[in-house]
Structure 1
Amino acid sequence: MMTLPRPFRLLPLLALLACPPALAEEVPAWLSPHVGLKDGQIAPVVLDRARALHQRNQKEGRVSNPCFFAMDATRPHLLDDGSVGRRFFVICEDSQTFRAVSSGHGSGRNLKGLADFSNGKQCARNFGNAEGSNLTTGGAYVTAETRTSFKGYYRAKGQMTPLMRSFLQFEGVNETANARARAIGGHAAVLVRNQCRMRAPESPHADAEGFVPLGDLVDYAAGRSNGCTSWTPGDAAEILSLVQDQPTTLYIYPEAADIAAAGRGYWDAGCLKSIGQPRYWSEAELGPLIARYAKEHPPAPAQPLPICEGQ
């Protein structure tokens, strides 16, 4: 049997994702208590679209994973008491399990003098799909491959520990079609910051001169992302294990039409009051501004990391 390259195997699935939304089957009794507008519950419209997307792909044989994902980016990421809101949902209908976890939204950017499409930590006001925008894009996705990469060393219990972070790539269509080009996916909200170069020639991650990056481990689960869905390390490990060699669907709310209808359709009431009118920035609108800003503000030449003290 001939095996098609991965991009061609994805084409039928992506074509299916592009179909108009359809109503999902009736919500089963076990899932009903999890449907609502409170923190940790999923709004009816978000669940309906997420289930319909997953069921279409299951019926067509494109996805066999019994679990699927949804995210409601109109909900607050930070609650009034300072805790993180639970707005990313893991739903497994075969085992009748529902889990709600936190997830960051895209930070956006402030291109001073051109456009300000930045977002605060609590509620997202700006959405869009332009490359370089750092914005969340609502719509249909399917999970693809997972890649794990070295992010640097940090000190833990007196020892140098490598941070190996896995990234789950998303594929999309229409508004989300450039997810791969934008490197949009899911990962743990951790990084190594304030790096210097530590001599460790025995490390498999050492450069040609025998140095490795060493810095501080930062957990930004309560912060924002570059447009990806970012989870706590524990949640990320569980989510990634669910899609290992078994892709599934992800639906992120709101889409562009939902943003235009804010105040008439569903939107989290608290966030809508906080942000006023939300806005969707398209690639056609924002792309030229980002390109212009990059041309007018070229990055400084890359400099090597400083040598760590005591070397």
Structure 2
Amino acid sequence: MTHDWISRLSLIALALLALQHSVVAQPTSNLPAWLETHVGEGDGQIAAVVLQRARALYLRKVSEGRVRNPCYFAMDATRPANLSNGRLGRRFYIICEAERYFRAVASGHGSGRILKGLADFSNGRQCAKNFGNAQDSLLTAGGAYVTAETKTSFKGYYRTSTGKDAVLMRSFVQFDGEGETASARVRAIGGHAAHVLRATCRRKRPDSPYAGNDGYVPVGKLVDYAAGRSNGCTSWSVSDAEQIVPMMNRPATLYIYPESADIDAVGRVAGAGRSLSHAGLYWNASCLKQIGAPKFWSAVSLEPIIARYEKARPAPAPQPLPICEEP
């Protein structure tokens, strides 16, 4: 799917639509009828509050002239990463109103960390309990983002199932945030395919355009973690990333739910054993049952703890990879 099929008239129509709306999220009754059919809490649907805020962010950025992308994106990080039947939970959304296009795909959430003796803000594979915007926290931070530049980099070589060497090149879409997500660039938060090369050795390949000054290239095992967690970035399966990354090359909006205020409110209500719906709040029911109550770790409170932990346990000096043993 590319942007070539979007006409100039579609962009003008979206810009005019944006000027007719306020920054405040619109109620679902004001949604286009085709889009409203996708609202709900079932698999493949988008919760009303997530769509309202994602749409409001998009309309605001279009009216400001910051974004001209015909599509916008959203993520509901309260949903499970995996479903009981072994399928990946779909919680990242692609919405192109001019073309009446809606698609829900899987996405990872931040793994968090365990700082022994100081703090445990780790997340399991199924549901996220901890969120935050602290540097080096590996946590997902909800809120407003706009996509910026895309960088594609060489990760190394790996052996395919047919026994041939292949190159891993991975594209990374940088996110720029505002408010609580303003640290996105400093934290190197963005979007990319959920695969990584676990480099185990280096091989002499002076003919490779990716060889270092010493003529060596990293070699390792290709690991797909689409069903797992991320370092706080938004990660997609390789096939989904092939669609999403090109769409984000033009500045686009991404809204990630929940924000700190949502987390705090849900934590108070859930902790008191009260009904979220009666309080006008939203969290995925199956994940809330699993985690008990969510928690937001602010940069102000968490970064000093991380700094203290890392000062007491300095990382060893980096060592070069061993030379690969030739088969």
Q: Same fold (TM over 0.5)?
A: yes
CA offsets, 1:197-246, max 9 Å, x none? 111110011122211111111110001001000001111111111122x2
In structure 1, distance between residues paired with 2:302 and 2:141: 13
Tell me, yes or no, if the aligned pair for 2:23 and 2:60 is still in contact at 8 Å.
Answer: no
1:68-147 matched pairs, under 5 angstroms: 68-147=72-151
Aligned pair partner of 1:229 in 230, 234, 241 = 234
Aligned residue among 230, 244, 251 for 1:247: 251
Residue of structure 2 equivalent to 1:4:
none
The CA distance in 2 between the partners of 1:93 and 1:27, in whole Å, is 10
| Aligned-partner residue type, residue 302 of structure 1 | P
Secondary structure in 2 matching 1:94: helix
Deviates most, 50-59 or 107-116: 50-59
Calculate percent identity across the aligned residue pairs: 63
Secondary structure in 2 aligned to 1:34?
Answer: coil
Mapped partners of 1:109, 1:200: distance in 2? 37
Pairwise CA RMSD:
1.3
2:169 is paired with a residue whose SS is strand
How far apart are the structure 1 equivalents of 2:116 and 2:40?
39
- 1:33 counterpart residue number: 37
Long gaps (5+) in structure 1: 1-19
Is the 8 Å Cα contact of residues 141 and 250 (structure 1) preserved in structure 2?
Answer: yes
C-alpha distance in structure 1 between counterparts of 2:307 and 2:69, whole Å:
40
The number of aligned residues is: 291
Distance 2:108 2:155 in 1: 20
Q: Per the alignment, in what secondary structure is the counterpart of residue 197 of structure 1?
A: strand
Q: Could you tell me the TM-score, scaled by structure 2's length?
A: 0.87
Q: How does 1:54-65 map to 2 (within 5 A)?
A: 54-65=58-69
The aligned runs of 1:1-311 (5 Å cut-off) are 22-24=24-26, 26-156=30-160, 157-244=162-249, 246-262=250-266, 263=270, 264=276, 265-310=281-326
Distance 2:66 2:214 in 1: 48
Deviation at 1:189, TM superposition (A): 0.4
**2-structure distance, mates of 1:83, 1:239:** 20
Which one is further off, 190-199 or 136-145? 190-199
Q: Secondary structure at the match of 2:256?
A: strand
Distance in 1, Cα, partners of 2:312 & 2:25: 47
Task: Provide the secondary structure at the position in 1 that maps to 2:99.
Answer: coil
Cα-to-partner distance string for 1:231-287 (whole Å, 9 max, x where unaligned) = 01111111111122x211000000001001114310000000000110000001000
